[in-house]
């Protein structure tokens, strides 16, 4: 629920409704705030998880999912992140198989407070790969020794051939070395 406050009447204010008081609603993102929305991405496939995870003394947020068939078994969508997100993309997620899922956003602050929000997602397709994410989220393969490496994590659900391309901020293909992991 958003805090509400009455302010003095200002007849010159654009929001004046010819009443004795203007009614304003506001929320502070200085207190632990968690908001989550899920939107299907028809062009690229997958589900865009979009929202907010913030606090003045922010610690981290996590995105997890569980199947309604096994609602107590949670799987990470991606590793926890210590980056504040304000009304922006948290992740793009491809469920591992057709079904109905609960996606949970959990955020915590440095004092140990936690908040979470869940959304239900239905998925009708069978994916070839699932649980795809990269670590670290931000990387800079420019050879300066700082965040030059990135690891792609995924689960293969069906036989396929995979190719990965990395593009820089100018949308130019960036050459890189792919080292298969376990």
For every residue of 88-148, DSSP letters joined together read EEEEEE--SSSEEEEEEEEEEETTS-EEEEEEEEEE-S--SEEEEEEESSS---SSSSSS-
Average pLDDT over residues 71-85: 93
Q: Given this model, what pLDDT does residue 175 score?
A: 67
Cα distances from 160 to residues 56, 126, 130, in angstroms, run 45, 13, 13
Q: How many whole angstroms separate alpha carbon 169 and alpha carbon 147?
A: 15
Q: How many whole angstroms separate alpha carbon 82 and alpha carbon 109?
A: 10
Every domain of the chain and the residues it spans: 33-174
Query: What percent of the chain clears pLDDT 70, i.e. is strictly above it?
Result: 79
Rounded to two decimals, the pTM is 0.67
DSSP single-letter state for residue 20: S
Q: Which residue has the higher pLDDT, 152 or 27?
A: 152
- Poorest-pLDDT segment among 10-24, 34-48, 119-133: 10-24
Confidence band of 143 (pLDDT split at 50, 70, 90): confident
Q: At residue 12, does pLDDT exceed 80?
A: no
Q: How many whole angstroms separate alpha carbon 131 and alpha carbon 89?
A: 16
**CATH number, domain 33-174, options 2.60.120.560, 3.40.50.800, 2.60.40.10, 2.130.10.10:** 2.60.40.10
Q: Mean pLDDT score of the chain, rounded to an integer?
A: 81
Q: Given this model, what pLDDT does residue 76 score?
A: 93
Q: How many whole angstroms separate alpha carbon 31 and alpha carbon 110?
A: 12
Long-range contact set of residues 141-145: C-beta below 8 Å, sequence gap at least 24: 141/166, 141/174, 141/176
Q: Which residue has the higher pLDDT, 79 or 151?
A: 79
Q: Which residue has the higher pLDDT, 121 or 132?
A: 121
């Amino acid at each position: 629920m958003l805090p509400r406050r009455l302010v003095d009447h200002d007849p010159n204010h654009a929001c004046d409704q010819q009443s004795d008081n203007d009614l304003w609603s506001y929320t502070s993102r200085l207190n632990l705030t968690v908001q989550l929305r899920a939107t299907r991405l028809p062009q690229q496939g997958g589900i865009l998880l979009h929202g907010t995870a913030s606090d003045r003394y922010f610690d981290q947020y996590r995105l997890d999912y569980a199947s309604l068939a096994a609602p107590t078994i949670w799987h990470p969508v991606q590793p926890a992140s210590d980056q504040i997100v304000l009304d922006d993309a948290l992740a793009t997620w491809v469920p591992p198989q057709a079904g109905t899922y609960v996606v949970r956003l959990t955020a915590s602050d440095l004092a140990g407070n936690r908040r979470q929000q869940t959304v239900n997602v239905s998925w009708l397709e069978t994916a070839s790969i699932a649980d795809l994410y990269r670590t670290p989220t931000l990387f800079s393969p420019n050879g300066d020794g700082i965040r030059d490496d990135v690891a792609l994590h995924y689960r293969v659900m069906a036989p396929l051939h995979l190719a990965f391309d990395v593009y820089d901020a100018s949308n130019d293909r960036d050459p890189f070395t792919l080292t298969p992991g376990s």
